[in-house]
């Protein structure tokens, strides 16, 4: 750790700042590490000490499950040590979500249930999201807040550059540029660019920092804004006097699902089904690793969205072109099953399918549509 100056720079009103990066486990881990490390290295350009670390956890990261990395920067080593006297920051100045579907809520620890993306952000803090959507579109899928904050949108799609083999799509540099705009006293743009130039020797990376700084758009969010449509999970954690001895996972009957852990918090996309072209081959039902498909009275298979992690295997194994299509999670505002809508009114459902998926609901030439419920094959 670089020794910091003994006195606080005159432009800094706080003793430290904390930034959290929320990401999809495994898929974006390297990306999150690069962002938090970049924050610390940029701060050290002006002699400020800092450290980057991952969230404490009692289980390994799983594919797609929300996880967190942190960066803490302080005015001196003493303040940094004081900030680090906790295993996880309870309050942060900035939350960065590198996948915009994370704004629907984060559930990385099942005990806590799904939590609002803004929950650890201090009043009047900042939530930064990488997205190709507008701030209003993002806010429409974000939990209703009980305190004001600022929502910032960094142009770009959800980045999976942080997979095991790193592929640099400049998301980290754009995020650092946006952070320099949010925290100019702590991360001045020129010093962030200087750090990136030294680290990469790539002027394109430096240009991406500048682009992230200039192109990020902001929207103030007032208390009460956001949606209250997301499911509220209410359950009580057992106290130490009532907790059962040992590590116990209650067995569940076949087809029964955990009532607390709602796996949709891991999802970037979800499958939508064209029931008119479904040939009832059972491949989606057989190959789904989370048993998300349930057979209907007509022999079709409907998706139980509360159990779906959005892995996309069903779309890959389906033998009928565009019968199962993976769609951006932010196009949906509930987890209700949709098969009853198809049963009730095929034309309305098919119009919804086409609008949502961007695919035609009509069967390919030479193929017949699925028979009506109760009809003969």
User: By the 8 A CB rule, do 330 and 269 touch?
Assistant: no
Q: Is 255 left (phi over 0), alpha (psi -120 to 50) or beta?
A: left
pLDDT of residue 311: 83
State the DSSP code for 227. Answer: B
Give the whole-angstrom CA distance, residue 95 versus residue 115. Answer: 13
State the DSSP code for 115. Answer: B
Return the CATH fold of 16-221. Answer: Pyruvate-ferredoxin Oxidoreductase; domain 3 (3.40.920)
The ranges of the chain annotated as CATH 3.30.70.20 are 237-377
CATH level 2 (architecture), domain 237-377: 2-Layer Sandwich (3.30)
At 158, list the tokens. Answer: 């959800």
The length of the chain, given as a count of residues = 377
At 192, list the tokens. Answer: 């962030």
Give the whole-angstrom CA distance, residue 360 versus residue 351. Answer: 9
- Angle between helix axes 203-215 and 171-182 (nearest 10 degrees) is 50
User: By the 8 A CB rule, do 69 and 35 touch?
Assistant: yes
Task: Using alpha carbons only, give the angle 32, 93, 35 rounded to the nearest 5 degrees.
Answer: 20
Q: What is the pLDDT of residues 184-203, one digit of tens each?
A: 999 999 999 999 999 999 99
User: By the 8 A CB rule, do 153 and 216 touch?
Assistant: yes
- What dihedral do alpha carbons 184, 169, 97, 230 form, nearest 10°? 150
The ranges of the chain annotated as CATH 3.40.920.10 are 16-221
From first to last of the 377 residues of the chain, give the pLDDT tens digit: 333 333 334 456 678 899 999 998 878 888 999 999 999 999 988 889 999 988 755 455 666 778 889 999 998 888 877 776 665 788 999 999 999 999 988 875 555 677 899 999 999 999 999 999 999 999 999 999 999 999 999 999 877 665 555 677 899 999 999 999 999 999 999 999 999 999 999 999 999 999 999 999 999 999 999 998 877 665 566 677 776 666 565 666 666 666 655 667 668 789 999 999 999 999 999 998 878 899 999 999 999 998 888 888 999 999 999 999 999 888 898 888 999 999 999 999 999 999 999 999 888 765 555 544 434 44
User: By the 8 A CB rule, do 143 and 230 touch?
Assistant: yes
pLDDT of residue 206: 97
Spatial CB neighbours of 355, under 8 Å, sequence gap ≥ 6 = none
């Amino acid at each position: 750790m670089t020794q910091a100056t003994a006195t606080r720079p005159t432009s800094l009103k706080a003793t430290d700042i904390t930034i959290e990066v929320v990401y999809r486990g495994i898929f974006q881990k390297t990306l999150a590490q690069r962002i938090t490390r970049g924050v610390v290295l940029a701060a050290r350009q002006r002699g400020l000490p800092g450290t980057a670390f991952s969230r404490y956890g009692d289980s390994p990261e799983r594919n797609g499950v929300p996880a967190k990395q942190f960066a803490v920067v302080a005015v001196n080593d003493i303040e940094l040590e004081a900030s680090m006297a906790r295993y996880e920051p309870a309050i942060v100045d900035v939350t960065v979500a590198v996948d915009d579907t994370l704004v629907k809520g984060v559930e990385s620890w099942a005990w806590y249930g799904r939590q609002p993306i803004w929950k650890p952000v201090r009043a009047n803090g900042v939530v930064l999201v990488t997205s190709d959507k507008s701030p209003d579109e993002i806010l429409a899928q974000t939990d209703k807040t009980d305190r004001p904050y600022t929502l910032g949108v960094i142009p770009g799609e959800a980045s999976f550059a942080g997979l095991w083999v790193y592929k640099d799509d400049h998301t980290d540099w754009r995020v650092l540029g946006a952070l320099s705009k949010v925290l100019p006293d702590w991360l001045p743009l020129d010093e962030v660019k200087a750090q990136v130039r030294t680290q990469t020797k790539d002027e394109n990376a430096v240009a991406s920092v500048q682009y992230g700084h200039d192109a990020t758009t902001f929207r103030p969010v007032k208390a009460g804004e956001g949606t209250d449509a997301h499911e509220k999970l209410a359950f009580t954690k057992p106290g130490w006097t009532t907790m059962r001895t040992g590590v116990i996972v209650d067995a569940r009957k076949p087809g029964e699902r955990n009532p607390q852990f709602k796996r949709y918090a891991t999802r970037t996309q979800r499958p939508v089904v064209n029931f008119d072209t479904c040939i009832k081959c059972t491949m989606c039902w057989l190959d789904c690793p989370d048993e998300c498909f349930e057979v209907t009275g007509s022999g079709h298979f409907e998706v139980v969205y509360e159990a779906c992690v959005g892995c996309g295997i069903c779309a890959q194994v389906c033998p009928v072109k565009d019968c199962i299509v993976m769609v951006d999670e932010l196009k949906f505002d509930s987890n209700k099953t949709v098969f009853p809508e198809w049963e009730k009114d095929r034309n309305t459902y098919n119009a919804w399918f086409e609008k949502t998926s961007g695919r035609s609901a009509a069967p390919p030439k030479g193929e017949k549509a699925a028979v009506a419920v109760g009809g003969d094959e």
